[in-house]
Amino acid sequence: ADAGFAVKDLRPPSRLNTARQSRARSLLSLVNDRVDREAEVPRLKAIDSFYQQAYRLIDSPAARAAFDLSKEKPQTRQDYGSGEAGMRMLLARRLVEAGVRFVSLEYGSWDSHFNIAPSLASQVPAFDHALAALITDLDDRGLLKTTLVTVTTEFGRTPRINKSAGRDHWARVFSVMLAGAGVRRGLVHGSSDLTASGPDTGTLAPRDLLTTIYHQVGIVAEKELKAPGGRPIEIVKGGRVVKELLEAS
């Protein structure tokens, strides 16, 4: 992997030495104590808890070790690829291995309203290579059976090429990939019509996909949470677990 690759903001800025960090934290603590004495403000307490989590992450030797790709064997780094996709997916595997319960990874530049063909030619091979390496690596390490890998987006692309040789946003149909955590291997579920304008068979609503994902990671999708102001809101409303996607239990 590229030696210059690093997660943004995991370490304090170089100009902020240990003494300045300590003074800043002491000042923040002083302000928080004053606010607590003046009034009980739940929102400020919640913000402070996020600050404390951030400090623990920055100070944690285990976190720094998990984010250090130089600890990987050269062959493993080569398997993933040296580009952004490979480095991010290798880092995702290291975080899973370190015990992180939820890892979110972005690999953008898919919004190809102009000249989509060269864009895909540069994006797809690296992504495909890195994703295959991630799933294989998780499987080889015995982690795939307890890790759900989800590759998704918020919408598809228009069936027709636009006048700028690109494709625009299209919400009626798009594909999602799931792997691991009890999802059936080698299954292609459903299909689009001949022009990819809409679903043809095996249609899944977003609420059903989300309910299935939550089910596989042990979260009750129908559970009610409290929104600001005390309003009850379900995690997912009206979804079903799609048993066809899952291995027989």
The 10s digit of each residue's pLDDT in 155-184 is 999 999 999 999 999 999 999 999 999 999
Asked if residue 41 has pLDDT above 60, the reply is yes
- The predicted structure's pLDDT at residue 1: 45
Asked if residue 27 has pLDDT above 60, the reply is yes
- The predicted structure's pLDDT at residue 177: 97
Looking at residue 195, the DSSP 8-state letter turns out to be T
Share of the chain above pLDDT 90, in %: 65
Q: Which residues pair with 179 in a beta bridge?
A: 149
Sequence letter at residue 247:
E
Asked if residue 85 has pLDDT above 90, the reply is yes
- The predicted structure's pLDDT at residue 3: 54
What gap in Å lies between CA 44 and CA 41, rounded to an integer?
6
The set of residues, in sequence order, having a beta carbon less than 8 Å from that of 127 and lying 6+ positions away, is 85, 107
Q: What is the mean pLDDT of residues 129-141?
A: 98
Residue with the larger pLDDT of the pair 226 and 197: 197
- The predicted structure's pLDDT at residue 40: 63
Structure tokens at 249: 């239990």
pLDDT band at 57 (very low <50, low <70, confident <90, very high): confident
CA quadruple 89, 91, 93, 96: dihedral sign = negative
Share of the chain above pLDDT 70, in %: 91
Q: What is the mean pLDDT of residues 200-209?
A: 94
Q: What is the mean pLDDT of residues 48-76?
A: 86
pLDDT band at 102 (very low <50, low <70, confident <90, very high): very high
Q: Is 0.95 surpassed by the pTM of this model?
A: no
Asked if residue 134 has pLDDT above 50, the reply is yes
